[in-house]
Every structure is written in structure tokens, then in C-alpha cells.
Chain A
Amino acid sequence: MRGSTEPTGDRWFGVGSSTGPRAGQAGADAARAAQAGRRANLVVVFCSTLYDAAELLEGVCSVTPDDAVVVGSTSMGELVSDKHDWAAGPQPSVVVAALGGPGFAVRSTFVPRASADHRQAGIEAASVMDQVNAPNKVMLMILDGLLRERHKLVRGAYSVLGASVPIVGGCAADNLTYTLTQQFYGTGQAVDVLSDSVVAVGLGSSGPLGVGLGHGWHKHGQPMVVTGSNEGEVFLIDNQPALDVYLRCIGADKSLAEDAYKFREVAFNHPLGLSRGDGEDLRVIHSANPERGSVSCLADVPQGALVWTMRTNERSLIEAAVSSCQMALDGLGGAEPVGLLIFDCGARVVRLGRGNVSAEQGAIRSAVGAPFAGFYTYGEIARTRGSRGTHHLTVASLALA
């Protein structure tokens, strides 16, 4: 575990970005801009899979103090406040957020082979908070986006942290290839590129912190009951093959399931919503299995759950992003924000279209009035109220004052 000093006063937050063709140079440029000559405690790097991550991180380290914690992940696009025309993909791009000042305390750890025991990985990751002693605390988590049972991981972390520590973060992405996502963990001296891991940062601050959430999706049609499922694979809905029911609900032909790419494009626009006390818990459907008549989600869909198909439109999605950030800012209790970290669902990029991504970021920029950086994820993590912390098709945000 690595860390910096206890918080006592000033805090700063900066962002930088680059779309330069050379990974090392792009990393160095973005990190230099984010730090702007200040001594960083924490450097967070989100980059496209088009870069060689190791080379990019060498560039980041070349301009970062040895004792600064460096974490991050690959993405399917980034969010950043310093470019007005920033659009996620398809070109290589990197975004860096840096924070520092004696008011921030940073500890970090990582858990390898998280898929071996998700809950235990969450418990181990949460140990990062043991050494964070500050009036305000948050645990930042970056997971491998291909971990299926991430809810168990967050449950594990919650069982250790309890209700007094919020959790926020996102799942690393690989631009919808679902083959390999990478997580970054290290310091300004060197950074490891990992997969199947959890990278955790214990962040303490002398100033307030706020966490926000929003998704912008609405229920459509009649409620249905999941009558057969195993983890994320749903076999039966209302005792009928789940795939048939789903295609009927969204008005699609059965042949759609035969083209995996087309099916995913359509399914991203019609997630499932699970009934929860505080609204709906969304599930992205990313594939279908015509032979088994099933649909598969990236997270668990418990048997017995009440579900709907969900709908949205571009305006609603952009409003949800703004609303998430606003909720995080509200959490600051009127304190001036120094910056935000944003974890926006990658499936929203598909639904919004690349063109609308800069519109979304423009709307956020107008609303928050503080630097922000983030990435489009394979899953969002935000636990403030209740005990659940995993989300999908959602925007999770962390505001720092």
C-alpha cells in the first residue's frame, strides 16, 4: 500500500488530455497538463485501448513525482473538461486527472485474480481505507470490466466499510471487444498494467465529498418476472424463453438474435430494469443465445426479480449526466468544488451516438463549473445510500471540494 501525507489544508484538482499519436508522449502531455507544475498525490489515467498502455504510463511517470499514486484503466472513451470538442473515440485518446495538496490523503492497493472470489476481493480492496484518517473519506474502485459478479465485490467491500464510507468508481472497458480490459496500479516510479484485478484508492479529504447518480431511463410496458436465471444469464421470463419475450417487448424480429453485432446495438437501447426500492437497477443486455433461448447481462439478474424493458432518448440521457453531477455537487453542502471524477456507462455512448458525446460533456461543463475527468465504463460503482453500489447505463460522479 502506498500513500501520501495526512490532509491539513489546501487541495487542488487538475485535468489534462491528449490525442497524440505516440502513447508515451500523449501520456506525458496529459499528465503534465493535469499537474501543471504542482506536486500530485494522486494521478488518475483513463485511456483508449488503441494506445500501448505500458508506454503511455511510462510517459505519465516521466512527469509525475515518484511517491504519487498512479491508477487508472482502459476505457471506451473519456470525459474531460479541458477540450470543448472532445468526442469519445475512435482516435487514441488519454485523459488524466491529478489531485494534490496537504488536504488530500491517498492510500492505494490492488487485488489480483479478483474473479477467483469476488466477495473476498472486495473485502481485501476495502482494507485500503484502514489507513485513511480524514474527516471525509471515499473509496475509489477501478475493476476489470469483464468481472461478472461485481455486485458481490461491492458487497464484500461494504461488509467491511459499512455505511459511513461511500464507494465510487467504474469498470475498465475495451471498446466493446469484451476481450481484455486493463487496470493501472503503481506510483510515479512505475505502474503495473493488470487485468482481472481490483485497484482501490482510499481518498481522505479535509473538505467535503459528494457522490451523484443518474441514468435517464424509463420503464416501458408491463412488469415481468424472471422465472429462470443463473447469474447474468436469463433463461425464462414469465415462464417463457427469455429471448422470445424480450424480442417481443422491444418489437424486434427473431432473426435479430442471429446477428450478434446487430442484436447488441439494438439491445443497448432496450436494457432491463430490475425493480428496486429506490427505482430501477438497470441491466445491459449484451448478447443472446438463440439455442438456449436466453439473454445475457453483464451483471446478475436474480430469479424472482420483477423486470421491465427500459427506454430513453438522447435528451434524457444528457440530462441524467448533468443531474448526476449536480447531485454530487449538492453533496458538497455549498462548498466550492475543485473537481469531479465521472464514470459514465459505455453503453450510453452507443445510445447517444459519438456525436452527442461532446454535447453531453458540454452540458456537464456548463453545469458544474469545475474541472472534470472520467471515462466511459463497463459498469459504474456508486454507493452512498443503501448498501448496493453497482450500476449500469448510469452516470456516477464524485465531486471534491
Chain B
Amino acid sequence: MNGPASPTSYHWSVHQLTEYLVQVSEPREQFAAIDAALEHAIETFDAELGVVMLDNELRASLGFGRQEVPQCFLGPLRDNEPVEVPDIGRVFVARGDLDKAATRGTGCDGYMLLGRLGREFSAEESQLLQGMALTLGLVLHNLSILQAERTRHRLVETLLDIQKAISARRPLNEVLDAITEGAWELLGRGPVALLLVDPASPELLRPHSLDRYPGFDDEAVALARGALAGEGANWEPSALRSRPLLAAQVVVSGEAAGCLIARPQGHAPGYRDQAELLNAFAQQVSLALNDARSVDAVRKASRDHITGLPNRAHFLQKLEQERLTSVEGNTDLTVLFIDLDRFKAVNDTLGHQVGDELLAEVSRRITTCIRPTDTAARLGGDEFAVALAHTDLESGRGVAHRIVRALANPFAVSGREVLIGASVGIAASAERHSDASALLGDADIAMYRAKRSGRGRCVVFEPYMQEEVADRLDLFTDLQRLATNGQLWLAYQPILSLASLGVEGVEALMRWSHPVRGLVPPSVFIPVAEETDLILELGAQAIERALADMASWHRHATGLRLNLNVSARQVVDQSLPEIVGAALAANHVPPELLTIEITESLLIEDPELARARLTRLKDIGVRLSIDDFGTGYSSLSYLRQYPVDQVKVDRSFIAELRDNATNDIALARSIIELCQRLRIETVAEGIETDEQLRLLKELGCDLGQGYLFAYPMPAHDWLTWQGAVSSRRGLSPPNLVSASS
């Protein structure tokens, strides 16, 4: 196609260069400046073709369409030398050189070459093109300086940020991602990835951060392997046909631990700089990994891995330091010993994972209750401790109450609400403490006292508590032995129908005849046994013994019912239904004749768990009774939520029943009437007088037991007592008593 004849009048002036300079100076990157320069120069001269060569590399071309720039256009050409370009035609060329003294050797050596169809370039045009090319050279030079400066500045900033992250002990993954991100930014946003040796399988390379490496492939892995094998910490052009990859080794404790790889952007002359940058980032990875491993080692040695708190050994070290400081400075030091209430039940029923989550959350709550300068620790299990420096007992008590309140709030763990609590023992450092262990021991003793006096309490250590503890320890030791030496035995107290005064059943009660202490009351030894799994063993023995006794009595009195007390710990223990079921089966006792008595405290502390456990017991056919009803905090309406068959009205209500005690009568009536409405059987405990018996009968109470009828008696007396009752039927109950406790 032939075009029109071109006008030849030009208005070359400095303004032509000004317009060009404005366009070329705008971009912040070299490639954009080159493109802008070439585009503008071509338009200025009404040329069709143009190229920019830098360091013998073609950096930009325009006007050739989809075809490659033909070699004839790239060779050494003189101004206005005609060149025949395929598909375009015969063009005249003009060349402007970029390389003058200012730019030589800076990577900005090169030239701009234009081609124009049909018209030669005038001397004026050649001169202007020369000016434009020189301008481009200077702009590129300035950009390279600026770029280098910007890169250096950004590198310093980025490395500083990474250093801060490492020293702030940010999570390792976060630090490694930040390093990869930094390398990606500094290397022109080309693909960057971090690969780490798998510690479990050192021959495997695991990609760590791949977000910035779209299209990650085997070639990248191969290069990384090469870098690890020491084939070159930097770029490896032989493996790369099209575009090179850079790799920089990561070293931990002197061993290759992975590598950072990158596909560089831009042109070969810049690869060396990019390789150095990549190395700088790889060193950061090495530093972060080394640091993380050493920190991890220290942490493992001194920290509890679930909560991240110091462990017992570390805590005792810290506490000893604080103790010595407080002794030297005559300052206060207080220690809190925290024991979680009902943690074991959570752990047993919801699993260890939930238990661990709960412990971690507990540690967070404890930490929020103390100052940053205080030290919290997990001593093990469900025990925590806090060292409060410069804190007297009164202030320590305040902190302890804060912690108890914080831990009394429900926990949300694994999508469910869990209620626990804590008991806290408090001890202040004193002269008698020879070391930190002694101080912590006092707090431990106080905690036991707190636990015994009711959960959720804070108790300050008093010296007498130490004796108590020693006494309890002795008791515990004896208890452990009694399972085998026959000191433990069962007493039976009859339960009668208040309407007919006929014997309906019998309650089995544990007794301990201590060779030295004499008869130890259950209220003393049961809590001691409950502190450990000993209660489970003793409980299981009692179940088997009582059912064996029942079996023997059933030969004489079929239909006799047995009430058996089990402790909260037994109920929580998952094996209870199996133990009960097995004992029933072994003794051929129908399950409906066995009534399991539990305390209402169990229902209050963990209603959900109680419901689940009681349902399992109901499933085997036994009856359930709430013992000592009315002494706890449960409301009457609570009852309907549980599969309860019987309620035993606590003796404290019965003791006050008199004709003129209207309030007490009303109270007893409300319990009995409610149970009637709920079709729950009522048993009055501790009936001692005829007046009480009469009133209870009037109120409609179903059953009763107490000294008025009989004291608890050994098994071997039961048949005798029952025989006597049968033969004296019709006599008043007191005459039936066979007091042989």
C-alpha cells in the first residue's frame, strides 16, 4: 500500500526534547522508561520501526508486529542506510547512542535505532535522535542508581522487620512466610519459594512457602536439590533452558536444611544482584531456623508443652531466685498453689484433647489475673502455681480470689461449655522455708485444706495444717492396707415402711475398725479415700460384699431391698455400671432390688455428666436415690431432670420435726409432696422419736430409717434382728432395736 508524500517541515526545538523527557522520566522502572522512549521517538519522527539495545541485548522493539526483529535490522547500521524489512518494506535507519562517559559500564550502554519507510532522516532529525538516546541513557542510569538505592533501602527495612520478628519470637511459620514475602518483593515479584528438608525423611524436600511461586514444578525441586548438594549456592544456568532459576542454601547447625529458590525477573546482568539478595534472605531463614530450634530446645526443657507455662522444675528455680531476693531485700513473696476442681472428670469423660485445651485456657485465665512480673507455672496434672514477688499475704489472697472467680466462669472447649473451678492454697515466704520446695509445699498443704473445706475456696497456710496433713497421710497409708486385712466392713441399717412398719430394705454403710484409732467414722476416712483412686477399689469391694450378703439373706426374705452409697468419684468412673452389673449377676440379685445412693452435690457440679452416668446405671435396671437431700443447693425442680426413684430427706430436717415446729413441717411437707407429684419415693433419715414418726406418716413419707427402729448392725446380726422383728410384729419400734454397732 502506498502512502501519501510526507510533509517535511519540522519545528525541532528544545521543546521536542522536553516533551520526550517528560514522558521518559515518568516511569519508575527501566523497562517502562525504555518502552516510553521508543514509543515517543518513533512517534516524533513518524517512523514505523524501532529497537533499543542495551549491553548487546534487545530490550525493546516496536513496529514489527508478531514477527521477530529481523537480523538485518540488528546489525551495525549507518545512519540512512536502507534496509529491506520483510512484510514492511524498505526503511531508512537512524541511530542514537546511549553510551557516553556517564553511563559506560553501568549496564546502560546501548543505542536506539529507528526505521522509517520511504524517507531518509535529515541531519536535524539524527541530531535530535542522538539527544533523545543520550537522554534515555541518563534516565536509565539515574533509574539504576535510584533502583539500587531503593532496593538497598527496602532490603535494610525488610531485613530489620524480619530480625524484629525473630527476636520477638513470632511463630516460625510467620517469620518464614515474611522472609519469602520479602524476597518476593525485593526480587521484582517473580516466583519465590522456600523448601525445607523434612526432618523425618532427610532425603525429602518439603515446600514451605509456595504462595509466591505459582506453577511450582519439578524443575524447581531439581534445582533446589542441586543447591542442597552444594552444586552451587547460586544460579545454575545449565538446568535452565529458557529462564534461569536462582537458589540459595539454608543452613542449620552447619547442615543443609533447605533452600530458597527464585525465578529472577529482568535481564541477565541483574541476576548477580538478585542472587546476592536471595542469599541475604536465605541467611535470614537459616537464622530463624537456628533461633527457633534453640528456643524450642530451651522451651522444651523448661516449659509445659500444653500451656506454654514454666514446668515444675523451672518454676522451682524461679521461685528459689525470688525467695533469695526476698530474703536479701526483706520483701514479701507469696505463692499460690492452684488445684482445679473436677478436671479429672472432664478429662475422663471428654478426652485428653479437650482436657489439654482446657488446661491451655486455664493457663491463659490465670495469666490474665497476675502481673507480667509474676510467674505462673503448671506443676503437672491439674495443678498450677503462681509466684507473686513483692506481695504480702493479703494481696496474695486478693489475687487468689481473682483466679478462683476467673476459673469459675464456664469454659468453651471444643464447642461445648465446661464448668470447673479451683481451690487455692496460699503461703508466704518465711524464715522456716529452707528452699522453694518448702514454700511451695506449704501452699500445697493450704490448698488441700481449701479443697476439704469445700471447692472454690482460698485458704492461707497455717502451721497446724502441716500436722493435719501428716495425720491424713497416716490415715491414707492405713486405708491402703485395710482392703486386705479385714478392717473394713459393712454395717446394715433397716429401712421400714412408715405405714406398715414392715422392713422394706436395708442400707449398707461402710465401717472401719482401726486397731489404734478405734472405729473411724466414714466422714473421716471416705474423703481421704476419695482423694485418690482408693475409693474406687474400696467402693467396688463394698458393692460385691453387700450383694453377696443380700444373696444370702434372700434365702430367708425374698424381696428385701438394698441401698448402697457410692461416692461421686465412683459415679464419674466409667466402670461403675459394669462393676454393679457383674456383682448383681454373680449373686443372682434382681437389679430392681438394688438402690444406688448418690449425693446431690454430684448433680450440682456437673449436671450433664451426672445425667449421662445415672442413665447408664438406670439402663442396667437398678434404682437411684438422692442421699442427704436438702443439704445441697439443688432446687426441688432439679429432681425432674434426673432418672431418680427415691429421695432420702436429710436427717437435719427430721431432727427438727415437732408438732409446733410449723416451718420445719412445712419444709418437710414441700419436699415430700413434690416427690409424690414426681412419683419419687421418699425416705426419712434419722428418725429418733415417735413424734417424728407420726408427723412423717401424716405428711405421707413412704419409708424411714433411724435409731427409733434400729442402729446399723453387722451383717451377721441382721438375720437375728429380722427374726426378732418378725416375731414381735405389732410391738412398738423402739423395742425392736438391736444396737450392735
Within 8 Å of chain B (Cβ to Cβ): is A133? Answer: no
Given A387-B62, A387-B63, A275-B11 contact (CB < 8 Å): yes
> Do A386 and B15 touch (CB < 8 A)?
no
CA distance A42 to B125 in the complex (A): 43
Q: CB-defined interface of A188-222 with B at 8 Å, one 1/0 digit per residue?
A: 00000000000000000000111111000000000
Q: CB-defined interface of A24-57 with B at 8 Å, one 1/0 digit per residue?
A: 0000000000000000000000000000000000
Q: CB-defined interface of B1-41 with A at 8 Å, one 1/0 digit per residue?
A: 11110110111010110111111000000000000000100
Which residue from B10, B19, B88 sits with its C-beta under 8 Å from A163? B88
> Do A330 and B2 touch (CB < 8 A)?
yes
> Do B63 and A211 touch (CB < 8 A)?
no
Within 8 Å of chain B (Cβ to Cβ): is A369? Answer: no
Which residue from A162, A210, A212, A327 sits with its C-beta under 8 Å from B66? A162
> Do B19 and A277 touch (CB < 8 A)?
no
> Do B9 and A166 touch (CB < 8 A)?
no
Which residue from B3, B19, B47, B62 sits with its C-beta under 8 Å from A305? B19
Give the interface segment out of A70-78, A152-160, A287-295, A352-360. A152-160
> Do A387 and B43 touch (CB < 8 A)?
yes
> Do B15 and A209 touch (CB < 8 A)?
no
Q: CB-defined interface of B353-396 with A at 8 Å, one 1/0 digit per residue?
A: 00000000000000000000000000000000000000000000
Within 8 Å of chain A (Cβ to Cβ): is B562? Answer: no
**B116 / chain A contacts, CB cutoff of 8 Å:** 386
Within 8 Å of chain B (Cβ to Cβ): is A276? Answer: yes
**A165 / chain B contacts, CB cutoff of 8 Å:** 65
**A112 / chain B contacts, CB cutoff of 8 Å:** none
CA distance A207 to B117 in the complex (A): 22
Q: CB-defined interface of B580-615 with A at 8 Å, one 1/0 digit per residue?
A: 000000000000000000000000000000000000
> Do A333 and B16 touch (CB < 8 A)?
no
8 Å CB interface, A255-304 against B: 275-279, 302-304
Shortest Cβ distance from residue B70 to the other chain A in the assembled complex, whole angstroms: 12
**B1 / chain A contacts, CB cutoff of 8 Å:** 136, 166, 208-211, 331, 384
> Do B6 and A278 touch (CB < 8 A)?
yes
Given A163-B117, A384-B1, A155-B15 contact (CB < 8 Å): no
> Do B43 and A386 touch (CB < 8 A)?
yes
Given A164-B65, A277-B46, A387-B62, A306-B39 contact (CB < 8 Å): no
Shortest Cβ distance from residue B512 to the other chain A in the assembled complex, whole angstroms: 89
> Do A386 and B65 touch (CB < 8 A)?
no
**A370 / chain B contacts, CB cutoff of 8 Å:** none
> Do B16 and A306 touch (CB < 8 A)?
yes
**B707 / chain A contacts, CB cutoff of 8 Å:** none
> Do B42 and A386 touch (CB < 8 A)?
yes
> Do B39 and A155 touch (CB < 8 A)?
yes
> Do A213 and B4 touch (CB < 8 A)?
yes
Within 8 Å of chain A (Cβ to Cβ): is B45? Answer: yes
The secondary structure that dominates the B interface is loop
> Do A277 and B63 touch (CB < 8 A)?
no
Given A302-B19, A303-B22, A276-B88 contact (CB < 8 Å): no
Within 8 Å of chain A (Cβ to Cβ): is B67? Answer: yes
Within 8 Å of chain B (Cβ to Cβ): is A225? Answer: yes
CA distance A223 to B42 in the complex (A): 23
**B10 / chain A contacts, CB cutoff of 8 Å:** 275, 277
CB-based nearest A residue for B21: A304
Shortest Cβ distance from residue A229 to the other chain B in the assembled complex, whole angstroms: 9
> Do A388 and B7 touch (CB < 8 A)?
no
Shortest Cβ distance from residue A352 to the other chain B in the assembled complex, whole angstroms: 23
> Do A388 and B19 touch (CB < 8 A)?
no
**A386 / chain B contacts, CB cutoff of 8 Å:** 42-43, 45-48, 116
8 Å CB interface, A143-187 against B: 155, 158-166
**A166 / chain B contacts, CB cutoff of 8 Å:** 1
**B22 / chain A contacts, CB cutoff of 8 Å:** 302-304
8 Å CB interface, A319-344 against B: 327, 330-331, 333
> Do A385 and B117 touch (CB < 8 A)?
yes
Within 8 Å of chain A (Cβ to Cβ): is B44? Answer: yes
> Do A162 and B45 touch (CB < 8 A)?
no
Within 8 Å of chain A (Cβ to Cβ): is B64? Answer: yes
CA distance A166 to B88 in the complex (A): 11
**B3 / chain A contacts, CB cutoff of 8 Å:** 211, 327, 331, 384-385
CA distance A276 to B42 in the complex (A): 11
Shortest Cβ distance from residue B383 to the other chain A in the assembled complex, whole angstroms: 65
> Do B63 and A225 touch (CB < 8 A)?
no
Within 8 Å of chain A (Cβ to Cβ): is B417? Answer: no
Given A162-B63, A304-B21, A386-B47, A330-B42 contact (CB < 8 Å): no
CA distance A388 to B43 in the complex (A): 6
Which residue from A161, A305, A385 sits with its C-beta under 8 Å from B65? A161
**A279 / chain B contacts, CB cutoff of 8 Å:** 7, 9
**A388 / chain B contacts, CB cutoff of 8 Å:** 43, 46
> Do A278 and B64 touch (CB < 8 A)?
no
Within 8 Å of chain A (Cβ to Cβ): is B467? Answer: no
CB-based nearest A residue for B117: A385
CA distance A369 to B347 in the complex (A): 100
Within 8 Å of chain A (Cβ to Cβ): is B572? Answer: no
**B57 / chain A contacts, CB cutoff of 8 Å:** none
**B117 / chain A contacts, CB cutoff of 8 Å:** 163, 385
> Do A162 and B64 touch (CB < 8 A)?
yes
**A158 / chain B contacts, CB cutoff of 8 Å:** 62-63
Interface centre among B1, B6, B118 (most CB of A within 10 A): B1
**Could you list 7 examples of A-B contacts with CB < 8 Å?**
A161-B65, A163-B63, A211-B3, A306-B13, A306-B16, A327-B3, A386-B116
Q: Which 10 A-B pairs give the minimum distances between C-beta atoms?
A: A162-B65, A304-B19, A304-B18, A386-B46, A163-B48, A277-B46, A275-B11, A163-B63, A164-B87, A279-B7
Other 8 A-B pairs with CB < 8 A, given A279-B9, A385-B46: A162-B48, A162-B66, A209-B1, A211-B1, A275-B16, A305-B19, A386-B42, A387-B46
